[in-house]
Amino acid sequence: VDDRELLQDVMAIIGKDQCLDDCAVLPYGDDYLVATTDMLHETTDFPPGMTNWQAGWMSAAVTISDIASMGAIPAYLLIAVGLDRWERLREIMQGAKDCCDRYGTAIVGGDIDRHGELTVVTTGLGRVEKDRIVRRCGSRVGDAICITGTTGQAQAALEGFHLHDTALFEPQPRVREGRVLGAAGATSMMDISDGIALSLYDLLTANDCGYSIRTVLLPLPGEVPEAAAREMALFGGGDYELIFTCPKNRLPVSGVEYHVIGDVIADHEVLADGRPLEKRGYQHRWE
């Protein structure tokens, strides 16, 4: 069983609409409040060699990335820390604080717990104008499929290409890019936390159309052999770039570094180079 299968159970209980986007979307005066929560823990999320400061940074970054992916401005963060050793807390909090400071976010609350395994849960709140929000739903046939930055870097670092260690250990959420893309008319968007392939399948779940990419268009992590680099970009996790769709007459979007990697198509399927793309990537699994 994997996490996307379990999500079906959750949808049956709390409703499908609550499960489609990177953030919940709530009324907030004339704007929307967006809210999201992420659980990270040592064995599956904090790679060997990561410092406590980086664990704190990453915990804040992944949640700020979810807010960025809605075209929203991050505002507030709550952080619950389950600590195996109390000595780790100060550096973890400082890392989270430094990441929040970088992105204009205030840490407003939290919880401290004793835990057998370091576990950090961050909850983020952000704000977005109603005409600038971008959801997973909204792709239109003929739109270009685009990604910010270069994916596959985090996976490359995990596989020993240390040139990319910073991408893995200190992800930079694309807040400014998300804001620009929302204003520029992006029709759908999410962050690529689990690889391009799973992100395309997540978009497929939220839309009636389909997605066709050409792998030759993928920007690839440097110093990695090409076939391996393509595998990392499609199926590796931990990148926190944005994937978005945009009408071609709205391109180019100035002020954002991005690559066009394919087209939104009418058929409800995900294709790479004309063939069905394997549905595989970073997932939690249970036996």
Could you tell me the smallest distance in angstroms from the CB atom of residue 5 to a second copy?
8
Among 55, 93, 133, 167, binds a second copy (CB under 8 A): 93
Which range touches a second copy (CB under 8 A), out of 36-44, 184-192, 229-237, 241-249?
36-44
Is 205 a residue that touches a second copy (CB under 8 A)? no
Which range touches a second copy (CB under 8 A), out of 1-9, 162-170, 176-184, 246-254?
1-9
Is 18 a residue that touches a second copy (CB under 8 A)? yes
Is 128 a residue that touches a second copy (CB under 8 A)? no
Which range touches a second copy (CB under 8 A), out of 47-55, 116-124, 208-216, 233-241?
116-124
Could you tell me the smallest distance in angstroms from the CB atom of residue 43 to a second copy?
7
Which range touches a second copy (CB under 8 A), out of 111-119, 178-186, 201-209, 260-268?
111-119
Nearer to a second copy, 89 or 228 (CB): 89
Please give the Cα distance from 97 to 116 (Å, whole number).
24
Among 16, 49, 113, 176, binds a second copy (CB under 8 A): 113
Is 7 a residue that touches a second copy (CB under 8 A)? yes
Contact 1, 286 (CB under 8 A): yes
Q: Which residues bind a second copy (CB under 8 A)?
A: 1, 3, 6-7, 9-10, 13-14, 18-19, 23-24, 26, 28-29, 33, 35-41, 43-44, 76, 78-83, 85-86, 89-90, 93-94, 97, 107-117, 119, 121, 123, 125, 284-286
